[in-house]
Amino acid sequence: MHMFDSLRKKLREGVEKLSGKAEEEVPKPSQKDGSADVWEPGARGPGPASGASREERAETERSGDEKPVAGGAGPERARPGGAAKEDEKGRLAKLREKVSTRELTGSDIDSFFEEGEMELLQSDVALEVTDALREKLKEKLAASKVRRGKASGFVREAFRESLLEIVDRGSIDLEGLVKEGRKAGKPPLILFLGYNGSGKTTTLAKLASWFRERGFTPVLAAGDTFRAASIEQLEVHGKRLGLRVIKHQYGSDSAAVIFDARKYAEKNRLDVVIADTAGRQHTDKNLMDELRKVVRVNQPELKVLVVDSLTGNDAVEQARRFHEAVGVDCVVMTKTDVNPRGGSILSVVHTIGKPVLFLGTGQEYMNIEMFSPERFVRELVG
Ligand code: GDP
């Protein structure tokens, strides 16, 4: 299984279908006139509205600029002199463009989305994202002339750009954040938010390990004072990573634990405070009140929301609630190693308009992948 397999398959199918449409040829009644390479715009078909008869097109293909168009006689053809010749050149140029290009229409794009909407939903792409993608593709593709033989690259590029517009929300410079804190003598606070089971504790330990590897020393704050065993779980990580964990009793004030951790880091000239928080249901009002207080008291430099990518559409709801309550700065999507769908990344980012910091790609400390929107999009559509 490859990460995002089903979303990838669907999007690549979209590129293929739409470029196939753009390359579509109108069936030819006969090949004897040498018109094998001639094609018509859209479904309009040959006839007066399409501008050129079969003979005209064949002639244009064979002849190049200078020859007159058979059957295209009009009053100006008979006109002697340069003006008539110029007119004719213009007409021929137009004709050549027509026979070598095809316009994709809004309804070509609509029909792909109408057929594919369910599958996109099944890959966790929220309806709002599907609509945004559809509109962006229309802007880029509809009414654009596609040169014959070049449609696939053209359509792929439109998909790439559209997806990038959805998923690229800037980036977070983690090392820069810590270096600035060092200069100011104030270690930054990175606050982790998220549902129980989303992978919040594992993820913050991964980030602590990431900082360690780069020569920075974090301190961990056991801000989840609610869930049984959460403090011990953090202490296990602290021991493994050789990091100090600041803790209080269960049931104590989370804001105060985190405040103490920042003081400890300042006093001991440590580089960064990484704080856990409780993660009961996002529907739990007390949790949101507690988080608001943590944020008010401690003014974190970075609020990281951890979302289990496997939670599908609920991921969007979680992101919305946390963002409304405390304002999220970036997102970590976990368990992408066991998620073939991948659409929740697009959905969450589109919903709150914040960047993905990294992806969780397994249970070990090393299993994090810094998120690159360009790479993500390239993996999806090639
Ligand atoms: P918390 O309740 O949000 O603190 O969640 P935990 O950190 O305890 O993680 C819950 C479970 O998810 C644990 O078994 C973790 O090992 C697992 N987990 C966390 N991140 C990932 C990931 O990126 N991939 C996989 N496969 N498992 C993960």
Give the model confidence (pLDDT) of 191-216 as tens digits.
999 999 999 999 999 999 999 999 99
DSSP secondary structure, 213-261, as one string: HTT--EEEE----SSTTHHHHHHHHHHHHT--EE---TTS-HHHHHHHH
- 372 vs 122, 307, 376, CA distance in Å? 24, 18, 6
CA of 190 to the centre of ligand 1 (A): 19
**Would you call 369 helix, strand, or coil by DSSP?**
strand
pLDDT digits (tens, 9 = 90+) for 246-259: 999 998 999 999 99
Q: Is 363 in the pocket of ligand 1 (CB under 6 A)?
A: yes
CA–CA separation, 174 vs 167, rounded Å? 19
CA of 363 to the centre of ligand 1 (A): 6
CA of 188 to the centre of ligand 1 (A): 25
Mean pLDDT for the chain overall: 84
Go through 73-83 and write b for each residue having 16 or more CB atoms within 10 A of its CB, e for each that does not: eeeeeeeeeee
Owner of token pair 């696939």: 152
**Can you give the three-state secondary structure of 78-101, one letter per residue?**
HCCCHHHHHHHHHHHHHHHHHHHE
Q: Is 360 in the pocket of ligand 1 (CB under 6 A)?
A: yes
Is residue 361 predicted with pLDDT exceeding 70? yes
Q: Is 229 in the pocket of ligand 1 (CB under 6 A)?
A: no
pLDDT digits (tens, 9 = 90+) for 311-348: 988 999 999 999 999 999 999 999 999 998 889 999 99
Q: From edge to edge, which strands make up the β-sheet containing 368-370? A: 245-246, 218-221, 272-275, 189-193, 302-308, 330-334, 356-360, 368-370
**Domain at 5-23+104-167: CATH code:** 1.20.120.140
Q: Is 238 in the pocket of ligand 1 (CB under 6 A)?
A: no
CATH T-level fold of 174-372: Rossmann fold (3.40.50)
Q: Domain locations in the chain?
A: 5-23+104-167, 174-372
Atom of ligand 1 nearest to the CA of 227: 2
Mean pLDDT computed over 219-227: 94
CA of 259 to the centre of ligand 1 (A): 26
Please tell me the predicted confidence (pLDDT) of residue 23. Answer: 80
Q: Are 120 and 126 in contact (CB under 8 A)?
A: no
Strand 330-334 vs strand 302-308: parallel, antiparallel, or unpaired?
parallel
